[in-house]
């Protein structure tokens, strides 16, 4: 997989391509069907690697900070599928966030930031916007 399959909703129409890419970690740092956390510009980013989905290999980058508790725990959440969407359940209050756009299924006022992410050879890269 060389390109991201995840682009935040706010960038889908206006700017489909990031201005630049920055390496966060290597492919060997990822854990299949689980989360790992990397540091990016003062924020913790939870990376989820799903190697065997119906759509093929997928990689997601989403904020690690749970908006309800304020704790950095999203990377420890449980992956699942609800209403046809891939989601991560917060380990504290169990609310579900869509991996594709960061929106919360139970509380529409809550959301998590998402970044475009890709594998470039062995590097996991996050998309940067101006």
* CATH code for position 42: 2.102.10.10
What total of structural domains would you count in the chain? 1
- Is 64 within the bounds of a domain? yes
Q: In what order do the strands lie in the sheet with 20-26?
A: 20-26, 123-128, 117-120
Q: Which token pair is 49?
A: 């690697």
At 68 the three-state DSSP class reads coil
Q: Look at residue 130 and tell me whether its pLDDT is greater than 90.
A: no
Instruction: Please list, in sequence order, all residues whose beta carbon lies within 8 angstroms of the beta carbon of residue 127, skipping any fewer than 6 positions away.
Output: 4, 7, 17, 18, 20, 21, 115, 116, 117, 118
Segment 67-102, tens digit of pLDDT: 999 999 999 999 999 989 999 999 999 999 999 999
Q: Say if 81 falls within a structural domain.
A: yes
pTM for this model (two decimals): 0.85
- Model confidence band, residue 17 (pLDDT cutoffs 50, 70, 90): confident
Looking at the domain assignment, is residue 3 inside a domain? no
Tokens of 91: 């380990």
- List the one residue out of 21, 43, 23, 42 whose CA is nearest residue 102: 43
């Amino acid at each position: 997989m060389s390109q991201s399959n995840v682009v935040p909703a706010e960038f889908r129409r206006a700017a489909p391509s990031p201005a630049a890419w920055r390496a966060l970690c290597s492919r060997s740092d990822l854990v299949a069907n689980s989360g790992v956390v990397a540091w990016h510009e003062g924020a913790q980013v939870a990376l989820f690697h799903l190697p065997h989905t119906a759509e093929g290999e997928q990689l997601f980058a989403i904020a690690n900070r749970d908006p309800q508790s304020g704790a950095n725990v999203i990377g420890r959440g449980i992956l699942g599928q609800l209403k046809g969407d891939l989601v991560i359940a917060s380990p504290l209050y169990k609310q579900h966030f869509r991996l594709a756009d960061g929106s919360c299924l139970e509380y529409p006022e809550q959301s998590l930031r998402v970044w475009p992410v890709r594998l470039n050879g062995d590097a996991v890269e996050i998309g940067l916007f101006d």
